[in-house]
Structure 1
């Protein structure tokens, strides 16, 4: 073999190792598979950054590649032949409605219903294909439920509060007695649910709907590793899992900035520990995300609050353009007052140990319980962010299947 061939081989091997190898905790199953998936995301993001520099739309490449992956998932199966699927508008918002085979209710009465918001960092994703379509079909079939998945608009074409307003608008339309009646839905058995950014939207919509006594309200909220605040990127879970696939801390910061409609080059500001101590953030607000008092010791571990920076990344300028959005409870449901939380429905909150968002969910569960809400916390010690969407070939993980199984079983018992 020529020396040049050896050099090229070594360089390619080193390059692959650089993108693929990520030290992972021993508890995570099939680490190589997760490393490969994470490397794929990194490559897609790098290509996306290049496209941005050339004037192409953000996340265009990422979304295209995701479409390929979810198509593979669809080929693997998961369709429920008896579920009727229709694409309609709810007050101008596109939704996909899944109706179970037993029209009129298999138990001789009105059916359950689930309003579902998909994840994707408020910037990509769809319920019309891939894991979300499979999940909605499964819920409709196994729960004998009408499932409504909302196709809210995405960043960067729109930003906060548009995504929230789309979801709220669809929810208000769905909860009208006439609409529920036309779909044979029991108004006392309607859930709101979502994962990741969708969990954020579900929690925020649940708070708003629960504050209105004039109409039908959700009976349960089911949140899968929800993102609930963007002020503190130094919680124990952010510190512990900042480089764990598939949601790294810098990626979460980028998603927040896209949601706020500002330049993603401001990542150092949103990641700064000083953000939480900005003059605009009152002590009462800080107390609502004070993980030192809201988290159990087993999750605090040895982690401590990050030191406030005094250098150029330390928020010397009192004006931070995205801060008002982060302080809005419609984007950060964890910041809601106790009285608002106390009016929301009983909750399921699913968290994963190896997820930067773990502590958001745990703190929200604690605050809901303190407000008198019945909460079921389900924590997966071997889980990682996004695992609930990884249940089909070629990226199938047992923990993802267990998350979905427990989620549907809880809805079966509580809805």
Structure 2
């Protein structure tokens, strides 16, 4: 979501004055720029409903006589677990395009946002909606092929999609398993804010490092006083025992290729602030950081697509996850774009009709078309 600096300043002022939470103000501004009603066309039927109490927007491609059952994608929008909506213009148009191009049923999940709820409620919402949808009678209602269902999401939605896939993979009671997961510049860990991409893109517009760390702190209802220390990795220093066992799962010196590592050096503090993990233990929870999952959790995950952008602080999260999934025996497509930036996939319609949006969106839809 592209937010103007003036909007950020205004929302922070409102927050400082104690009038409202800054994220509520930002979401109000985003909503005012355009939410789309559930408007159907000849090609795509759009419906707002709820799945087990979780709001969803369903996009149904036109049925074809030769294909009585359709493919389906459960889509989870981005926005730092706090912003945007399935009804935001960009996401509505992305899901409409997916439904039309793939002749599929797209379920865009309207999970609850920070600051109304915090981790892990967002995960509970997407799990609940997905399990409801995967019931045979619901799939039958929407004429969905139970063997051709995918999970997808961008940014924080990519984080939730990855966590959702891991949970479904471990659920022995689930009869219908998803066929693919497609993660668009996913946010996958909060232990190392000094990977090469975090160092290289620390001040890149759209998503600078400071803003990403604040999103994490907001997600966990943490204290902003910790942000500056987290930026220099004081929360996962060598004297923080809880983090030691997990560090190997995101050791970028072994997980990233030389072309990405370049001349960057790891930032590992000898002594830091153990209080941060004590106050925000969610930082080390695999549900918030799918990258740190054990290898056994990764085995058996569906065929995976990961889109990453060069000019993006979370670029290396996606690249490291692709490497770890490959090591676990998962078939992975890593789709890296040298000229692109975080958020670009939804910049493919007016007034943000950018070539990078068209390019990345086409590549993503092509992969889904070939693999779902």
Q: TM-score range by the shorter chain?
A: over 0.9
Structure 2 counterpart SS, 1:368: helix
Cα distance change of structure 1 residues 295 and 341 upon mapping to structure 2, 3 Å threshold: same
Q: How does 1:2-21 map to 2 (within 5 A)?
A: none
Q: Which residue of 1 aligns with 2:214?
A: 254
> Out of 251, 255, 261, which is 1:290 matched to?
251
Q: Which residue of 2 aligns with 1:235?
A: 195
> Out of 116, 123, 140, which is 1:157 matched to?
116
Q: Which residue of 1 aligns with 2:266?
A: 305
Larger Rg: 1
Cα distance change of structure 1 residues 309 and 337 upon mapping to structure 2, 3 Å threshold: closer
Q: Kindly indicate whether the alpha-carbon contact (under 8 Å) linking 1:342 and 1:373 is maintained by their aligned counterparts in 2.
A: yes
Q: Which residue of 2 aligns with 1:176?
A: 135
Q: Which residue of 2 aligns with 1:43?
A: 6
Q: Which residue of 2 aligns with 1:20?
A: none
Q: How does 1:102-251 map to 2 (within 5 A)?
A: 102=63, 105-214=64-173, 215-251=175-211
The alignment covers a number of residue pairs equal to: 368
> Which one is further off, 293-302 or 277-286?
277-286
d(CA) in 1 for partners of 2:216, 2:343: 17
Q: How does 1:354-369 map to 2 (within 5 A)?
A: 354-369=311-326
Deviation at 1:298, TM superposition (A): 0.3
TM-superposition CA deviations, 1:58-93 (whole Å, max 9, x none): 22332222234446xx79xx9854211111111111
Deviation at 1:282, TM superposition (A): 4.4
TM-superposition CA deviations, 1:93-115 (whole Å, max 9, x none): 1111111122xx45333110000
TM-superposition CA deviations, 1:315-369 (whole Å, max 9, x none): 16476311x2011111100011111101210100000000000000000000000
Q: TM-score w.r.t. structure 1 length?
A: 0.85
> Out of 34, 46, 49, which is 1:88 matched to?
49
2:361 is aligned with 1:401: no
CA RMSD of aligned residues (A): 2.0
Q: TM-score w.r.t. structure 2 length?
A: 0.94
d(CA) in 2 for partners of 1:57, 1:256: 16
Unaligned runs of 5+ in 1: 1-36
Q: Kindly indicate whether the alpha-carbon contact (under 8 Å) linking 1:365 and 1:375 is maintained by their aligned counterparts in 2.
A: yes
Q: Which residue of 2 aligns with 1:320?
A: 278
